[in-house]
Amino acid sequence: MHKKVQRSLTVLSLTSFLLFSCQEKKKENGNATEQIKDYPVLTIAQRSITLNSEFPATIEGQQDIEIRPKIDGFIEKIFVDEGATVKNGQALFKINAPQYEQEVRTAQANIKIAEADVNAAQMGVNKVKPLVEKNIISKYELESAQFTLQAKQAALAQAFAALSNARTNLGYTTIASPANGIVGLIPYKIGSLVNSNTPEPLTTVSNIGNIYAYFSINEKQVLAFSKNTKGNTTKARIATMPSVSLVLANGTVFSEKGRITTTSGSINTETGSIRVRATFPNPGSIIRSGSSATVRIPSRLDSAIVIPQKSTYEIQGKKFVYRVSADGIVKSAEVGVLDNNDGQFFVAQTGLAVGDKIILEGVASLREGAKVISRPVKADSVYAKNL
């Protein structure tokens, strides 16, 4: 009986050992299958690429003219509405200021008085002159009459100047547009008392035949643009820069191309940036002053190492790729890329060289030192549609 039990235990132990060995073998085979997977691999080569740098911008018209009254008075008439297109010299507002009409009438009356005084003084000269010539009276009498005439003539000239000034002030009661443009907001209504010190302008006339897009670039970008453009002066470098595009608030690209026309002369010490102006033609006045947009500046790079964004992963703000060795082992490699981000590719400045092989996609499922089966991918199929 004892021998049977011992024999049964021996058989059971042997069976368990065999089962355990089979399971371990299957587990090892399974792990080997999991580790060695097929991944698409891209061989690094130099390519040409156009990068787009984008900068938030504010739009201003070629002229944004504040319309303010030069005299005190009540708004009597408003000849235009907000958003109206006006011409140079077109009437915008009428100011009710009757005192200036009175000043004109007073000046006209003073001219008549001064003219009468001049005529009287002239008669005095005419009367004294023959008496002096006959030595009946002293020549000083003639000189005195002539001085009186000159004083009256000066008073007449002063009266004409007063009339001109009065008419000028009266002309200020009608406010006309100083340029072609579009009328902005009109905060004051008929009956409002306005003067030259009124806080808000009566309105703004914007000439938007051309528009200015103002944006800022930091000091690092300034140096990059200076390095990548030809010319010995700022003006010469601006002249060689490519045309720029304007991305509107709805995401569409404005049909007209623009040019960088000027930059501020110094860097703002508070923001570390300079202000740049791009000018765009605006046929049909589609874009209005005060709009927001994005200026897109292209730059062409030749012989650049371009990698798809999907082949990278990020750790603590740094970007990495998986480089594949000749024996199929993957190792992570940190890459330094340009700030430009077009949603498709990065330009690698450091970390990769021509001929390196990197995992194209599926990097999230890899780990350092894993063994993979490389499946070469043609570079043209990766870049053709986007570069």
pLDDT tens digit sequence for 286-322: 888 888 999 998 888 888 899 999 999 999 989 999 9
* Between 217 and 27, residue with greater pLDDT: 217
What gap in Å lies between CA 215 and CA 292, rounded to an integer? 11
Q: What's the confidence (pLDDT) of residue 2?
A: 47
Contact assessment for residue 307 and residue 348, using Cβ atoms and an 8 Å cutoff: yes
Q: What's the confidence (pLDDT) of residue 386?
A: 54
Q: Is 179 exposed, middle or buried (0-12, 13-18, 19+ CB in 10 A)?
A: middle
Least confident of 24-28, 93-97, 211-215, 375-379: 24-28
Write down the residue that tokens 């000439």 correspond to: 207
Angle, in degrees to the nearest 10, between helices 139-171 and 98-133:
160
User: What's the mean per-residue pLDDT of the chain?
Assistant: 85
pLDDT tens digit sequence for 361-384: 999 888 898 999 999 998 888 887
pLDDT tens digit sequence for 333-356: 999 988 766 678 888 989 999 999
